[in-house]
Structure 1
Amino acid sequence: MKKQMRRILRKALNSRVGYGLKGWLQDSGPARREGIRTRDGRSSAEVIAYFGDRPDRLYQLQQWLTALEKVNETRSVALVFRDEQSFEAAGAMTELPVVVAVTQPDLVDLYASESYKLAMYVNNGMKNFQSMAEPSIIHVHVDHGESDKKSSISNQLKAYDKIFVAGPAAKERCQRELWGLDERKMVSIGRPPLDGVFASVLPHDGRETVVYAPTWQGENEANNFTSVDVLGPQIVKSLLSMPVRVVYRPHPRIGGMAESAVSSADREIKSMIDAANDQGGAHIVSTDLNILDIFVDADLLIADISSVGLDFLYLHTEKGLLLTDRHNDRARMQSSSPIGAVLGAVSLNTIGQLPSIVDEALQEDKLQDTRRALRDHYFGEKTANGSTSKFVVAVDEAIRERESWNSASQR
């Protein structure tokens, strides 16, 4: 019955009277419409990945495209955007259908004219909740990285029908912090974006490579774990004094920030590396290479509390990993982060010993078994393409669960 009603509505909207009515409504107050656009006329799908943000955040969606293309082999997938520039930029990233519905009335029209079954969200953007008003769609949160940041335990998670999480650590985090969360919503799928094949992208260098990959400062102090302003220049200065190749790979959003202590320190770090390179240092500043490819050439990663360190842990358990502590509070770090509780931290108290800490991590790594246990705690057991397979199954099971409920409710 519902599908039949949708077909009737679609036919009415596409009639001459329907077009006239839509044109009239486009300029009528809160019902303003700009129209629905597609790249090549395709908008139908069973599964959509919804993205309501600007292009500078597209990295959040881009990492999921390979997994979505795998889902598309069994259930059709489309990408739905609310921003014109993001829509245009995404067209070059994938062959999946891309659709843009800028205004909320446009989005309502799109959902009324299609039969989408499941919508996936890679963040907690405000416009997500305009989409989640549609009751006929299963709304699934997947996020764009596994981390111990406060943003990973937003109370907004309660609004989704399903929450796809990486593993036991995420479930424990949510159960500990989110009162009233229905635990049945959470489904462990590992980390599908890490199932890809990653290749060396850095020039060959006979020295060991240390990658410093800090996060950005977040949108509030509770989510501020960046080390750039507090420790960054000191970290890079120490590394440049050692016989290693230094790779500085800041979070993509640091480059577009307003003037701040973080942006100033970022410039200072880049200037230090430029000066060292003028003396033949052959160090690297990377702002565009895929960080997962950079990991291939890394012998050691220095990262903040963020998804970067955990992605490295998953992919390269055999390599050294050091975490920073901008708050210089070991007890706080141990209580808020399982990985922070176990691995050594670079802080104001320890920065003076960084060369010896780095040397020990490179030469005499005693923590491989510890990192392996941490990897399983955050992501579950690692198997070849196992996360993507779990993701595909979880999407299918969610749709089947909803279809079963629909059938039962109509009896």
Structure 2
Amino acid sequence: MTDAHADDEGAAWATDVRAALLAWYDLSARDLPWRRTRDPYAVWVSEVMLQQTRVDTVIPYYERFMARFPTPERLAAAPEDDVLGMWSGLGYYRRARMLHRGAREVVARYGGEVPREPEDRRALPGVGRYTAGAIGSIAFDRPEPLVDGNVARVLARLRAIDTPLGRGDTERALWADAAALVRGERPGALNQALMELGALVCTKTAPRCDRCPVASRCEALRLGRGGELPVPRARRPPRRVELVAVRLGRPGEVWLTRGEGALFGGLWGLPTVERGPGERPVDAAARALGDHGGVALDPAPCGTIEHALTHCRLRVTAFSASAASAASPPAGDRRARFVRLDALAEVGVSALTQKLLALTAARPGPTAAGEAPRRHGGSRTPAGER
């Protein structure tokens, strides 16, 4: 086959697939709140939220977030704690921080207008090739391709690509096909059609090939390989981490610390440490409390929970402790504070913290009959033990 013939076949493939996808999308697209606008900021927010998160989970978060921060200016002016509070429970909190930083840059450099040029968009914090393509095609009607998990699956099956996802040659082939498809009318609708097809029809397991508008162009279906493609990327087994957390309470309040490192990433949560080799959980709990004075630690754990993150599996043993009513954080420590239980929604707490608060709610301090509290820190006697 000559290069010219191959180019003609490729163009015909793209034309056929594009037409079929757009016709199907016009009839089958879900009515989602971010599809009712072409505001580039709204598209940006929705695409960041949708990364690694289900649509039905995102909808209420998106609506609340846009009501609170309807413009880049409003988001840029908000304290980080307010932003994380609105994101609380959605997970992957680095997304929220990058979006916040990006909004501040849009205000500072572009007068509050999301930039039209793709290279300017990709220079924003947290905006990669995919997000830039989504904003460019949907909001600005520019022929910019995108490839996410759903699109990669659709294209890998259409083309019967049998090299692993994530490999350089695989990624180049996927982006080339995505670029060929988006070079035509309605690029934003075309990109959304690809994503919608992957979400509703060309699913990871049990693809609904009988409902697929491009089945006649699918090489994987023709070869009987629809269920085995795409070839997944090689992944390392998740790391297992043993943690200990302590709920330190006083009437109506709970002590929160701002976490550091890759696991906690600046979120507010219960004092938490990783257990050392051979370390008793109760000793780790005392270490988690640090030098906080006027504290009685219950030596009996409240229980243990499992929590999955992208690259690790956490096993967390929870303890409870009570603080004297006059206890306060060390002077000048902005990484720790008491927070009212009815105000937790106003700060960014993770799903793990919510699980731990629920686990420890029945025993917020060492007051159960027959249990001797373990004194920790300073010499003050905790409230209720005088």
State the TM bucket, normalised to the shorter chain: under 0.3
TM-score between both structures, scaled by the size of structure 1: 0.24
TM-score between both structures, scaled by the size of structure 2: 0.26
Structure with higher Rg: it is 2
